[in-house]
Structure 1
């Protein structure tokens, strides 16, 4: 079977940048050294590139999880060119196909089921889906954004200006062009590439399937640290239109914090989230499924399975009651339908259901502990 043609431009870029970063950067560090300013600027550029991909390419343009002011979109467009991961239009088109056909080896551009190498970088080295390369029918909404189309039409020029212009200008100002090109140019680019690529590869094979087993995506806190919050990938693949990936307060998701912070500056708006009860039900469904599997070897499997199902059904009922009354309470506050909602019957009912839910959660957790 003949393999698709090699994309020599991509092959050359990935190989040359990697070799320079792996050989020239350590050699320069040993023979010349890098100062603190150079390291800090390289880190800042790495963060800028990464956040332009996560907050811009991914959550803004690919999934429309929020709206952004033109100035912020322009900043992200430049950062995306700096990250050298193709134009917004092309990147978003690929990513939407990935979500629509995740793990389908014939349609998913970077299907994890074709192996780590393929999903990480191999899919870009050969013309595996050349018939799609110029088909942007799934991004017609983005084609109405003048910044997206400006970047797409001028992408090559912008990548040259950003990837050579920024390091050279900094090098001229700081007095060391070679170190700047190596750190801010090559090393930063290689790190930007491969940390982003980890989401297509590692995040589909390493971590927990917290919310669904319908696809290979995993939640991984370590990858979230490397990718500005994108590592909570199992959550993202079931709730893709949420502007958050890490939904817990303790989960590392600086992209979420950036988007939310910009809302206070009037730079972002209409931040989209999923209902808490829907998220919790998805998590509990996975807990139930795993617990049922553990019971297969239990001596009283059938009896324990029935008890587990009963506790689960009661917990879901409590969740429905709690979130239903909470919605009514919030609506009452918003619409001012009750004069003093804090002392109203609805507020009392809310506290009662909240207590019932907490008690049922404790019952369910105790049962799970017994099964462990």
Structure 2
């Protein structure tokens, strides 16, 4: 089959900026050097652009994981133009198609099953799925957002203004225009591009399938460091409307922290999360499936698998009982149905179920470790 036409503008931007970042910037660093103010400014711009994509384009607009004040939406819209990753409307449309048809080579815009190069950058270098480029029927909700439509209409001038205006303004203020254009302009842009692109490529290749194996998405803590928390991608693909990607306190997810911090300031509302029992059941189901797969070729496989399934069923039963009583307890506290909840029979039942669940979890963990 004839390959789609090359998008020469994209290819030129990617190639020229990468060559400058890989050759000219290091040469400039060796011959002239970059001072701490320039490096700090470049890092700040990198974070601003990256978080505009992760907190704005991705979790706010593409997945509606929370709602944001107009001022915060405007900041993200300008940061997205600075990141040079197309308009909010177009980016969100592509991303929703990706989630709906993940790994379908004919429908997923950046299917990982077409290889690293394609999912990382190749899908933007040719006119793949050109018939869909201006089809925004899957983002009708975003068309009601005035800031989204303003940014979409004026995306090109906004992108030029941000990508040239900020480095030039900083260069005039700091007194070194060349350093500013190279570091805040070119190098920062290339870093923003490729760290974001890693989510489409590496995050579907490298890491653990903690919650589901129905798609190629992986959880990878190292990628989370480069992508402001987006590296917990297996979780995201099964629970896409959760405003968090890293759900544990130790997970590096600054995007989650930003969204939550803005809630305290009144800038974000209606933060969506997935219930703990649903998350735990998905994780346990994957552990069961993966452990069974390892046992198939072992001696006495049928007996071991049967015992594993039995322990799993007991754990799920205790898990359901615990969360059912926990929900009742929370409701009682909220509605003040019981005068002294802490001393009630419901509280006693809750504590007993919690202790049993803890013991069963320990037993399950030891069993899966032993059988694996």
TM-score range, shorter chain: over 0.9
Deviations 1:79-129, CA, capped at 9 Å, x for gaps: 000000000000000000000000000000000000000000000000011
For structure 2, which runs of at least 5 residues remain unmatched after alignment? none
Q: How does 1:1-372 map to 2 (within 5 A)?
A: 1-372=1-372
How far does the alpha carbon of each residue in 1:213-271 deviate from its partner, in whole angstroms, 9 at most, with x for none? 00000000010000000000000000000000000111100000000000000000000
| Alignment partners' CA distance in 2, 1:370 and 1:99 | 36
CA distance, structure 1, for counterparts of residue 136 and residue 23 of structure 2: 38
CA-CA distance at 1:58 after TM superposition: 0.1
Could you give the per-residue CA deviations for residues 188-212 of structure 1, whole angstroms, max 9, x where no partner exists?
Answer: 0000000000000000000000000
- Looking at structure 1, the residues matched to 4 and 68 of structure 2 have their Cα atoms a distance apart, in angstroms, of 39
CA-to-aligned-CA distance 1:39-93 (integer Å, 9 cap, x gap): 0000000000000000000000000000000000000000000000000000000
Local SS of the residue matching 1:297: coil
CA distance in 1, matches of 2:7, 2:291: 47
CA shift for structure 1 position 369: 2.3
Alignment partners' CA distance in 2, 1:8 and 1:290: 45
Query: Offset of 1:297 from its aligned partner?
Result: 2.2
Q: 1:228 & 1:370 partners in 2: Cα distance? A: 35
* 1:298 Cα offset (Å): 2.0
Normalising by structure 2, we get a TM-score of 0.99
Instruction: Tell me the matched-pair count.
Output: 372
Across the aligned residues of Structure 1 and Structure 2, the Cα RMSD in angstroms comes to 0.6
In structure 2, C-alpha distance between the alignment counterparts of 1:282 and 1:369, rounded to whole Å? 18
Runs of 4+ with deviation above 4 angstroms? none
Partner Cα separation in structure 1 for residue 54 and residue 367 of structure 2: 39
Displacement after TM superposition at 1:366 (Å): 1.8
Query: CA separation in 2, counterparts of 1:370 and 1:201?
Result: 34
User: Mean Cα displacement is larger for which, 24-33 or 296-305?
Assistant: 296-305
Secondary structure of 2:296's aligned partner: helix
Q: Distance in 2 between matches of 1:38 and 1:108?
A: 39
Partner Cα distance (2:131, 2:294) in 1: 46
Q: Deviations over 1:281-336 (max 9, x none)?
A: 00000100011111112211111111101100000011101111110011111111
Alpha-carbon distance between aligned partners in 2 of 1:342 and 1:211, rounded to the nearest angstrom: 34
- State the distance in 2 between where 1:141 and 1:297 align: 51
Distance in 2 between residues matched to 1:19 and 1:366, nearest whole Å: 52
Structure 1: unaligned runs, 5 residues or longer: none
C-alpha separation between the residues in 1 aligned to 2:346 and 2:147?
48
Question: How many Å separate the matches in 2 of 1:39 and 1:366?
Answer: 48
Query: Quick check: 291-300 or 329-338, which moved more?
Result: 291-300
